[in-house]
């Protein structure tokens, strides 16, 4: 902060004392407008999260909003004014997400265990609904508002719509249970108009909304046990009630048709005495089970170890091959007398300027066994399974990564070579060191000191080089001796992707996938940490 | 300052008199083989690019038809792109990548400025923390990202699954981690005396930041913006799980779909799409080449 020198006049001193945070200049106006907008959005968000009951989001948002106002209107938090925007995104989309990964890795989150126990109860009650035998048909009209469909029904009694007198009209959708509406008209049995809703004609139902209407389930009340009404023809609805009964006090589900009692077990499922379970469960903590599965369950541990070995080999060899080729080329072109160096360099770094996913896709075409350029043109019609034979596929992956990565290494090696201290080289020459000796004892160690951190980053990047693997081989060729859909070129991150089930080929298992993510992080983190420590040692030696 | 970045990697003019005095034998031994290596390296680097360019111009859409380079030249494949969703994917990709790049530069530069210019409690700790966080790539936590975005979408549909804004926010989450160090080092090379002089003249910290410092660090802003643009341009896994409807896909997700469906793949169409998709990045790269080379090598020698 500037010191107030005595020779400054009074006004100047006052200006310097006044914080720019409270100075009404143009910058302040801009800030005020921005903060007003952010606060408005924030308050809107707080209301929305409060209403939908997402309390985790509510408190997170509140904390971010309060922090924003403090930072930008306080005199003290000057550095934070600059760091806050990036920090807010970092906290939510990186740090929180990592923390959440850890949390999920200790649960059985996944297909069959997707939500809370209440959600599971509601889903089970809705899934097991049967038409109530012998119940009368309710004449209905299908109504629509803003693209959302609902049923309008003339209530005969309160059993279908709370508080309704015979003759009242009730409307409900899949989200909102049937509720009485005023001023609707009906003609005998059929509803003819509902204020705020448009009544669909039979023609519209058949031609535009048939599938939607026949699958529409309109709950009778907020209590899932009261059942719902559904229709098959768009004109008459029938009452449906669940064959399961939920006893909240005892925490049990009873199948009313068979009398079987299902009670909650510690695996997040309703289980009967004979061990049968209901098909919807909820999320529970399972401790280290996911980690134990990764290392000991034969379905996963076998492929896991093979994939781990390949991942390390892939990342290491990728760095080694690209570095060696890049270094070799950098040395070749590190001669000021060579004409056209700039043209060579520009053409050589083209692969680096091609987005990686495109390069992998292009190469996957060129390496195609039957039609690819490599087999057809370069090898004169050979039919070599570059991407279908396990070892050749691994070789291809490394080859494509070499093509993609050598220009980067070439660039950094060129930079490092050009910044070598000339006096040291000169001194070595004067001391009578030969070319090889200069190279081995001076150039190489100096080069490694400056490039080692980048080599470690490159290793970490390739360890998780999902795009290359997925675009080129999709992890294939498949392991023939294991049951999970994994293959010879899968690396850990593509294994995590398969296991998570987000690609739709396997059941979702978020818990196991998150546990594997954490394991990958620990491995990469450890290797990087060791690497960085070695680099520091190297620097101290120099 | 700027010179530090731009001069690196720029070649010094070859000493002409030395070359002209060289005899052919010595020339071959000392320089000729370098040209040979250069030609081989250029052919290796360029042939897939030439191949895909040729395939994009071929009349037939099959992969076999593309193997004879430049046998036919037609714009048929490029015209046919209009009948696909290609251009909307292209637009989506540009929206996502440009917004991400601009956001990353703004946030990264601001944070680096604070770390470089202000001395505050927890500064070193925060820098170290950033270094550690950077080692955990967001991509690895894609399951949690998916779950977070899904939850957000229940409350704010604009930030939910299938929203480009959500994808941009996720990418911006990595804005500090990756770039702060690169920029921080560069900010440190701008002499702090400039700030102090401006301060004595009565400039506020925000005036100094916006009108003085940001202009001086323009090269690194360009590098970081471009690297961020390229990274989000080619990012696949997060785009794939967040953007769910075809109309919202990015190029990486869309073009992967074209090629992965091996039996029905229209290779000519893909080739044309690949050429169009590669162009913006390639052009930017060639224009900003000296900055990028400088940025990379500056990073490398600093360690």
- CB-side neighbour CA atoms (13 Å) of B203: 16
Same domain, A377 and A504: yes
Nearest CA in chain A to B66: A373
Q: Rounded mean pLDDT of B78-87?
A: 87
Looking at the partner chain, which of A351, A359, A453 has a beta carbon nearest the beta carbon of B303? A453
Residue B286 predicted with pLDDT over 50: yes
Rounded to a whole number, what is the distance in angstroms from the first to the last CA of chain B? 18
Q: What is the pLDDT of residues B266-276, one digit of tens each?
A: 888 889 999 99
Best CA proximity match to B144, nearest among A515, A352, A463, A288: A515
* Contact (CB<8Å) B237/A525: no
Q: For chain A, say whether B151 makes contact (Cβ under 8 Å).
A: yes
In whole angstroms, give the CA distance from residue A317 to residue B132: 25
Q: How far apart are CA A310 and CA B14, in angstroms?
A: 46
Contact (CB<8Å) A415/B135: no
* Of A108-122, A505-519, B93-107, B147-161, the least confident: A108-122
Judged against a pLDDT cut of 50, whether residue B230 lies above it is answered with yes
Q: How close B198 gets to chain A, by Cα (Å)?
A: 11
Looking at the complex, report in whole angstroms how far the Cα of residue B134 sits from the nearest Cα belonging to chain A.
Answer: 9
Using alpha carbons only, give the angle A320, A307, B262 rounded to the nearest 5 degrees: 90
Do A141 and A99 sit in the same domain of this protein? no
What's the rounded mean pLDDT across residues A142-149? Answer: 84
State whether A353 and B113 contact (CB < 8 Å).
no
The pair of structure tokens assigned to B169 is: 């926010």
Give the pLDDT confidence score for residue A8 in this predicted structure: 52
Give the model's pLDDT for residue A298.
Answer: 83
| pLDDT tens per residue, range A398-416 | 999 999 999 999 988 988 8
Cβ-based contacts of B135 with chain A (< 8 Å): 460, 521, 524-525, 528
A520 and A466 belong to one structural domain:
yes
Question: Start-end ranges of CATH 1.10.3720.10 in chain B?
Answer: 85-295
Contact A351/B31, CB-based, under 8 Å?
no
pLDDT of residue A12: 58
Q: Half-sphere exposure of A311 toward its Cβ, with a 13 Å CA cutoff?
A: 27
Confidence grade of residue B297 (pLDDT, cut at 50, 70, 90) = low
Highest-confidence segment of A35-39, B72-76, B179-183: A35-39
| pLDDT at residue number B20 | 55
Q: Nearest CA to CA, how far is A331 from chain B (Å)?
A: 10
Q: Give the CATH number, domain containing residue A362.
A: 1.10.3720.10
Torsion sign over Cα A474, A480, A485, A487: negative
**Cα A321 to chain center, whole Å?**
32
Task: Test A344 with B206 for CB contact under 8 angstroms.
Answer: no
Instruction: Place A161 in a pLDDT band, splitting at 50, 70 and 90.
Output: confident
Q: What percentage of chain B carries pLDDT values higher than 90?
A: 26
Contact of B263 with chain A, judged by CB distance below 8 Å, is answered with no
pLDDT surpasses 70 at B295: no
DSSP string covering A464-499: T-HHHHHHHTTTPSBPSS-SSS-BTT--HHHHHHHH
Asked if residue A287 belongs to a domain, the reply is no
Q: Are both A159 and A64 inside the same structural domain? A: no
Closest chain B residue by Cα to residue A377: B67
- How many pairs of residues across A and B have Cβ atoms under 8 Å apart? 322
Q: Report CA-CA distances (Å) from B100 to A330, B94, B152, B168.
A: 33, 10, 20, 6
Q: Which of A307-311, B7-11, B79-83, B91-95 has the lowest mean pLDDT?
A: B7-11
Q: Which residue of A has its CA nearest to B104?
A: A86
Mean pLDDT for all residues in chain A:
83
Q: Is A254 domain-assigned?
A: no
In a shared domain, residues A476 and A525 = yes
Q: Are residues A191 and A337 in the same domain?
A: no
CB neighbours of B226 closer than 8 A, spacing ≥ 6?
Answer: B101, B284, B285, B288, B291, B292
Q: Looking at beta carbons, which pairs linking A10-16 to residues 24 or more positions away fall under 8 Å?
A: A12/B202, A15/B202, A16/B202
Q: Tens digits of per-residue pLDDT, A330-373?
A: 988 888 788 888 888 888 888 988 888 999 999 998 888 877 88
Q: Is the same domain home to A316 and A185?
A: no
Interface test with B, best of A373, A454, A455, A465 (most B CBs within 10 A): A373
DSSP three-state, residue A264: strand
Q: Do residues A410 and A326 touch, judged by C-beta distance below 8 A? A: yes
Q: What is the pLDDT of residue A541?
A: 53
pLDDT of residue A312: 92
Stretch A267-282: mean pLDDT, rounded? Answer: 82
Angle at A76 between CA A75 and CA A81, to 5 degrees: 85
Taking CB atoms and an 8 Å limit, are B136 and A98 in contact across chains? yes
Shared domain check, A98 and A146: no
pLDDT score, position A18: 52
Q: Summarize the confidence of residues A459-463 as an average pLDDT.
A: 88
Listed range (A223-232, B86-95, B195-204, B222-231) with the worst mean pLDDT: A223-232
The token pair that represents A383 in the structure block: 């039919």
What integer pLDDT is reported at residue B6 of this predicted model?
Answer: 37
Taking the CA of residue A273 and the nearest CA in chain B, the distance in Å comes to 34
Would the CB atoms of B252 and A470 count as touching at under 8 Å? no
Residues of B with Cβ-Cβ distance to A358 under 8 angstroms? 234, 255, 274, 277-278
- Residue of chain A minimizing CA distance to B231: A355
Nearest Cα residue to A496 out of A194, A294, A318, A287: A294
pTM above 0.90, yes or no: no
* Residue-averaged pLDDT of chain B: 82
Q: B300 pLDDT exceeds 70?
A: no
CB within 8 Å: A416 and B300: yes
Give phi and psi for A250, each to the nearest 5: -85, -15
Domain count, chain A: 3
Residue among B63, B249, B77, B232 nearest A363 (CA): B63
Q: What is the pLDDT of residues B208-224, one digit of tens each?
A: 888 888 888 888 888 88
Rounded percentage of chain A residues whose pLDDT exceeds 70: 94
Residues A39 and A136 in one domain: no
Pick the residue from chain A with its C-alpha nearest to B157: A48
Task: State the best of A8, A9, A83 to mutate against chain B, taking most chain B CBs within 10 Å.
Answer: A83
Q: What's the CATH fold of domain B85-295?
A: MetI-like fold (1.10.3720)
The predicted pLDDT at position B169 comes to 93
pLDDT tens, residue by residue, A21-72: 455 677 788 888 999 999 999 998 899 888 887 788 889 999 999 999 898 8
Residue A249 has a pLDDT of: 80
My answer on whether A378 and A333 are in the same domain is yes
Task: For residue A410, give how far its alpha carbon lies from the nearest alpha carbon of chain B (Å).
Answer: 10
Q: Are residues A321 and A387 in the same domain?
A: yes
Query: Using one digit for the tens of pLDDT, what is the confidence trace for B118-165?
Result: 888 888 888 888 877 777 778 888 999 999 998 888 888 888 888 999
Q: Give the domain extent around A80.
A: 19-106
Whether residues A102 and A137 share a domain: the answer is no
Contacts of A95 in chain B (CB under 8 A): 133
């Amino acid at each position: 902060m500037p010191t107030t020198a005595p020779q400054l006049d009074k006004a100047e001193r006052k200006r310097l004392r006044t914080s720019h945070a409270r100075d009404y200049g143009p910058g302040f106006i801009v800030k005020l407008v921005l903060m007003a907008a952010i606060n408005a959005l924030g308050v809107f968000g707080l209301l929305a999260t409060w209403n939908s009951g997402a309390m985790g989001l509510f408190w997170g948002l509140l904390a971010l909003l309060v922090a924003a106002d403090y930072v930008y209107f306080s005199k003290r938090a000057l550095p934070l004014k600059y760091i806050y925007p990036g920090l807010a995104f970092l906290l939510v989309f990186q740090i929180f997400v990592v923390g959440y990964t850890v949390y999920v890795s200790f649960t059985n989150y996944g297909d069959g265990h997707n939500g809370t126990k209440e959600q599971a109860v509601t889903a089970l009650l809705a899934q097991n609904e049967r038409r109530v035998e012998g119940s009368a048909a309710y004449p209905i009209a299908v109504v629509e508002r803003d693209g959302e469909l609902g049923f309008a029904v003339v209530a005969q009694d309160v059993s279908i719509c709370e508080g309704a007198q015979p003759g009242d009209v009730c409307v409900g959708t899949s989200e909102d249970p049937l509720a009485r509406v005023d001023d609707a008209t009906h003609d005998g049995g059929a509803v003819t108009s509902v204020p705020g809703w448009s009544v669909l004609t039979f023609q519209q139902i058949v031609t535009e909304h048939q599938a939607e209407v026949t699958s529409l389930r309109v709950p009778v009340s907020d209590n899932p046990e009261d059942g719902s009404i559904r229709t098959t023809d768009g004109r008459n609805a029938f009452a449906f009630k669940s064959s399961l009964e939920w006893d909240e006090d005892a925490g049990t589900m009873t199948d009313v048709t068979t009398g079987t009692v299902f009670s909650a077990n510690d695996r997040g499922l309703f289980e009967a005495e004979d061990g049968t379970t209901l098909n919807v469960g909820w999320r529970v903590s399972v401790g280290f089970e996911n980690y134990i599965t990764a290392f000991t369950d034969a379905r996963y541990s076998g492929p896991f170890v093979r994939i781990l070995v390949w991942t390390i080999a892939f990342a290491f060899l990728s760095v080694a091959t690209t570095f060696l080729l890049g270094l070799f080329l950098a040395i070749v072109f590190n001669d000021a007398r060579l004409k056209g160096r700039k043209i060579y360099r520009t053409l050589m770094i083209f692969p680096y300027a091609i987005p990686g996913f495109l390069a992998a896709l292009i190469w996957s075409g060129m390496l195609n066994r039957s039609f690819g350029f490599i087999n057809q043109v370069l090898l004169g019609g050979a039919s070599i399974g570059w991407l279908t034979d396990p070892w050749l596929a691994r070789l291809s992956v490394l080859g494509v990564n070499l093509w993609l990565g050598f220009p980067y290494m070439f660039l950094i090696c060129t930079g490092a070579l050009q910044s070598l201290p000339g006096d040291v080289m000169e001194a070595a020459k004067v001391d009578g060191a030969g070319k090889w000796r200069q190279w081995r004892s001076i150039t190489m160690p100096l080069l490694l000191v400056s490039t080692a951190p980048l080599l470690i980053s490159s290793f970490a990047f390739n360890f998780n080089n999902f795009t290359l693997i997925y675009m080129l081989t999709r992890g294939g060729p498949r392991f023939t001796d294991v049951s999970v859909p994994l293959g010879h070129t899968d690396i850990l991150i593509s294994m995590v992707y398969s296991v998570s089930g987000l690609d739709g080929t396997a059941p979702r298992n978020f818990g196991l996938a998150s546990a594997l993510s954490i394991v990958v992080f620990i491995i990469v983190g450890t290797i990087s940490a060791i690497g960085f420590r070695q680099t520091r040692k190297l620097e101290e030696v120099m | 300052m700027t010179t530090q970045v731009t001069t690196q990697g720029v070649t010094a003019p070859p000493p002409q008199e030395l070359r002209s005095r060289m005899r052919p034998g010595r020339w071959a031994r000392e320089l000729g083989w370098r040209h040979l290596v250069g030609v081989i390296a250029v052919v290796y680097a360029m042939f897939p690019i030439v191949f895909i360019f040729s395939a994009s111009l071929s009349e037939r859409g099959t992969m076999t038809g593309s193997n004879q380079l430049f046998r036919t030249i037609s714009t048929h494949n490029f015209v046919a792109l209009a009948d696909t969703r290609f251009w909307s994917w292209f637009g989506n990709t540009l929206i996502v990548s440009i917004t991400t790049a601009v956001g990353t530069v703004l946030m990264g530069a601001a944070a680096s400025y604070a770390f470089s210019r202000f001395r505050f409690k927890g500064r070193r700790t925060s820098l170290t923390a950033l270094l550690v966080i950077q080692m955990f790539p967001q991509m690895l936590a894609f399951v949690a990202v998916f779950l977070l975005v899904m939850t957000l979408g229940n409350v704010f549909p604009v930030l939910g699954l299938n929203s480009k804004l959500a994808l941009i926010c996720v990418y911006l989450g990595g804005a500090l981690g990756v770039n702060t160090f690169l920029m921080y080092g560069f900010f440190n090379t701008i002499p702090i005396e400039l700030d102090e002089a401006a301060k004595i003249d009565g400039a506020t910290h925000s005036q100094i930041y916006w009108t003085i410092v940001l202009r001086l660090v323009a090269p690194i802003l360009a590098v970081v913006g471009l690297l961020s643009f390229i990274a989000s341009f080619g990012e696949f896994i997060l785009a794939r799980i967040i953007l769910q409807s075809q109309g919202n896909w990015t190029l990486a997700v869309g073009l992967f779909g074209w090629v992965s469906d091996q039996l029905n793949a229209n290779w000519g169409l893909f080739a044309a799409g690949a050429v169009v998709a590669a162009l913006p990045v390639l052009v930017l790269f060639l224009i900003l080449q000296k900055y990028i080379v400088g940025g990379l090598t500056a990073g490398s020698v600093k360690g």
